[in-house]
Amino acid sequence: MEHLISSKLLTLEQLYNIVEQPVKLTLSIDAKERIDKCRSYLDDRFSGEDAAATYGINTGFGSLCNTHIGPGELQQLQHNLLMSHACGTGDEVAQEIVRMMLFLKIQSLSYGHSGISRAVVERLIAFFNNEIYPVIYEQGSLGASGDLAPLAHLALPLIGKGEVYFKGEKINAAVLNEKMGWEPLKLQSKEGLALINGTQFMLAFAVHTLIQSHKLWYWAHITGAMSVDAFDCNLSPFDKRIHLIRPHAG
């Protein structure tokens, strides 16, 4: 089964089918064009030494927001950002949540507003399609600033760092690259920031919880209906006329 990544809104049922079944993700032509257009804009405007200092693109972060970073150091800046924020702790996040995080991150980046390159998105898609799940820890999110620590762990294997689960085995990302014949990605300006600024960690938990709640809601109705039938219960409380005289909706 294939799912085309596009800008269309997704239903809860679609999300469930995508993350719970063996689905292969592919970028739509429209998504590719949006991603490439935004990346080209950044490259054209901020490639030179005289480019205006712009936060997250050619400056430091936080208190270093006024420190200009030259073109030759932008790649290291983005890599340092991932490594410095990959400081989660606690228990490992379940792989079904990590799978959801991967999909939500891919979907978010595919809108073409983040300046990410297509190579990064396609590597994340390769992770999803090959059931490669980065090791992420439950504690460390800053919430309002984004899920910085969890998303840093999600993105770290892109540059050959951190650990992943692959075919049931926890391995170093460098070993994964050898197995898959991949080269570590070299992040460009803003790409590290685009990868960790987001809420895909908390959103993955929220969507997962909502899906599980829907399952319980469904089975509660089935169990209730079968119990009413099995115990030959009084059906008069279900009379529609009784409920119509009440002013409540539903």
pLDDT of residue 217: 95
Please, is 86 exposed, middle or buried when counting C-beta atoms within 10 Å of its C-beta (0-12, 13-18, 19+)? Answer: buried
pLDDT of residue 166: 97
Nearest partner of 10 among 93, 94, 98, 106, judged by Cα = 106
Please, is 177 exposed, middle or buried when counting C-beta atoms within 10 Å of its C-beta (0-12, 13-18, 19+)? Answer: middle
Q: What angle do CA 10, 139, 179 make, to 5 degrees?
A: 70
CATH superfamily of 2-202: Fumarase/aspartase (N-terminal domain) (1.10.275.10)
DSSP symbol at 77: H
Pairing state between β 132-134 and 89-92: unpaired
pLDDT of residue 81: 92
Q: Which residues are CB-contacts of 224 (< 8 A; sequence separation ≥ 6)?
A: none
For the chain, the domains span 2-202
pLDDT of residue 94: 97
Mind telling me the catalytic residues? Answer: 55
pLDDT of residue 143: 66
Contact between 127 and 179 (Cβ < 8 Å): no
Nearest partner of 114 among 55, 32, 228, 195, judged by Cα = 195
Q: What angle do CA 9, 125, 207 make, to 5 degrees?
A: 45
**CA–CA distance from 246 to each of 218, 249, 250 (Å)?**
25, 8, 10
User: Which residue positions in the chain have pLDDT lower than 70?
Assistant: 143-144, 250
